[in-house]
């Protein structure tokens, strides 16, 4: 059976490495989004779209392809997948795309080159058909760096360009997502006093103190979060993900460090998370220092499902409700910049970052068709 133009485009994109440089050694020729951006820019220009490549980080550029409306521009839709992928496991094997039993396999097939292909091909179809909206400009914006620090979406939002709606491409199983959790990463440190392991009472064991911290976080604090629930996102959560302390068995450790992942709900803030954790630990007589592991905030997303264009997309996808997801993505930085944002795309997040990443061709082609129907309803 012949593959659709969307499937063919996805196969070409998988074969172009675009691994986030954070996951590879400097100088690795598989890193960066340039090859994918160059490919899409070439196709967009051939289709008559206006293309810009603003630099976000040294040598790394967002891709912006614009389809102007027939008449004067009164509205703007932003189609916003990301161009970067994670690296391992099995990276080299995953850079050779393959088709098997109705699936396309390869790094980025699901997260999110499938969304790139569906959104880009839907836009090209509209451009070629002559049925572009009367008053709505459509921007395809391929972001860099979503898999690390979201530099691409943060840069775009900082430029002040507004839109009526941004559809951020992530594998949502073609569900229209209006809410996602935020993410606060903290480093907590306890201090002790070193001593010889044969006379431990002369020291103060920082690991022992931290064990009490971990116990409180994973029990009392985690249980308190179960009472905070969102209708689309469920409960807030916390996880102690790593611990480091001490150097060898015969030295009382004078320092211990843990990393904490706190998934937030709409309305929760980083400052609020730090305050409640600090209060809990101080009430138990524990002295702990805090440090943020992220340079930029990662707040939760909540967009009004009654937004007229959200309802249009729901209708195009034959859905009578919207959904929430647990992971963080580019939608929140765009929303923080004043652009109402949702998440939508083919594929299932369960396949993202796996050693045999794949997307179903049926989901891919349905995604393209839904986006075409949606664009056809815009003013």
Tens digit of each residue's pLDDT (9 = 90 or more) over 305-356: 999 999 999 999 999 999 999 999 999 999 999 999 999 999 999 999 999 9
For the residues of 258-302, what is the DSSP string, one character each? EEEEEEEPTT--HHHHHHHHHHHHHHTT---EEEES-SS----EE
- Whether the per-residue pLDDT at 68 is higher than 80: the answer is yes
Work out the burial of residue 367: count CB atoms within 10 Å of its CB; fewer than 13 is exposed, 13-18 middle, 19 or more buried.
Answer: buried
- Whether the per-residue pLDDT at 267 is higher than 70: the answer is yes
- Whether the per-residue pLDDT at 361 is higher than 90: the answer is yes
Interval 31-40: pLDDT, tens: 999 999 999 9
**Mean pLDDT, rounded, for 242-253:** 97
What percent of the chain shows pLDDT beyond 90? 96
Q: The pTM is what?
A: 0.95
What confidence score (pLDDT) does residue 1 get? 66
All structural domains of the chain: 5-180+300-376 (3.40.630.10), 182-292 (3.30.70.360)
- Return the biggest CA–CA distance within the chain: 83
**Mean pLDDT, rounded, for 150-158:** 98
**Residue 243 contacts residue 258 (beta carbons within 8 Å):** yes
Backbone angles phi, psi at 237, to 5 degrees: -140, 165
Structure tokens at 332: 């929140």
What confidence score (pLDDT) does residue 295 get? 84
Does the bond joining 89 to the residue before it have cis omega, within 30 degrees of 0? yes
pLDDT confidence of 131, banded at 50, 70, 90? confident
Instruction: Say whether 354 sits in a helix, a strand or coil.
Output: coil
Does the bond joining 112 to the residue before it have cis omega, within 30 degrees of 0? yes
pLDDT confidence of 379, banded at 50, 70, 90? very high
**Mean pLDDT, rounded, for 168-175:** 98
């Amino acid at each position: 059976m012949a593959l659709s133009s969307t499937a063919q485009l996805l196969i070409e994109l998988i074969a172009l490495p675009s691994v986030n440089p954070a996951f590879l050694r400097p100088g690795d020729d598989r890193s960066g989004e340039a090859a994918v951006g160059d490919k899409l820019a070439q196709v967009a220009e051939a289709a008559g779209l206006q293309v810009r490549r603003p630099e976000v980080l040294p040598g790394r550029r967002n891709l912006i392809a614009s389809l102007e409306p027939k008449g004067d521009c009164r509205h703007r839709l932003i189609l916003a997948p990301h161009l970067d992928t994670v690296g391992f496991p099995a990276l080299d094997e995953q850079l050779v795309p393959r088709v098997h039993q109705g699936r396309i396999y390869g790094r980025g097939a699901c997260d999110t080159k499938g969304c790139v292909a569906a959104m880009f091909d839907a836009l090209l179809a509209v451009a070629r058909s002559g049925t572009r909206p009367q008053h709505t400009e459509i921007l395809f914006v391929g972001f860099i760096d979503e898999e690390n620090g979201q530099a691409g979406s943060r840069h775009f939002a900082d430029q002040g360009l507004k839109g009526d709606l941004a559809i951020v491409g992530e594998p949502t199983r073609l569900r229209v997502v209006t809410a996602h959790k935020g993410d606060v990463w903290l480093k907590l440190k306890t201090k002790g006093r070193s001593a010889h392991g044969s006379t431990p009472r002369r020291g103060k064991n920082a690991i022992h103190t931290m064990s009490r911290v971990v116990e409180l976080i994973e029990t009392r604090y985690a249980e308190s979060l179960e009472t905070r629930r969102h209708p689309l996102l469920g409960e807030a959560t916390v996880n102690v993900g790593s611990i480091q302390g001490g150097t060898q068995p015969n030295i009382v450790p004078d320092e211990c460090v843990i990393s904490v992942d706190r998934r937030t709900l709409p309305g929760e803030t980083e400052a609020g998370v730090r305050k409640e954790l600090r209060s809990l630990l101080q009430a138990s007589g524990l002295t702990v220092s805090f440090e943020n592991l992220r340079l930029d905030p990662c707040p939760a997303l909540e967009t009004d499902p009654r937004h007229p264009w959200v309802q249009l997309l729901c209708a195009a996808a034959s859905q009578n409700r919207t959904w929430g997801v647990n992971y963080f993505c580019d939608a929140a930085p765009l929303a923080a910049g004043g652009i109402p944002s949702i998440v939508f795309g083919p594929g299932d997040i369960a396949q993202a970052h796996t050693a045999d990443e794949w997307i179903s061709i049926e989901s891919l082609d349905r995604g393209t068709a839904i986006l075409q129907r949606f664009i056809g309803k815009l003013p």
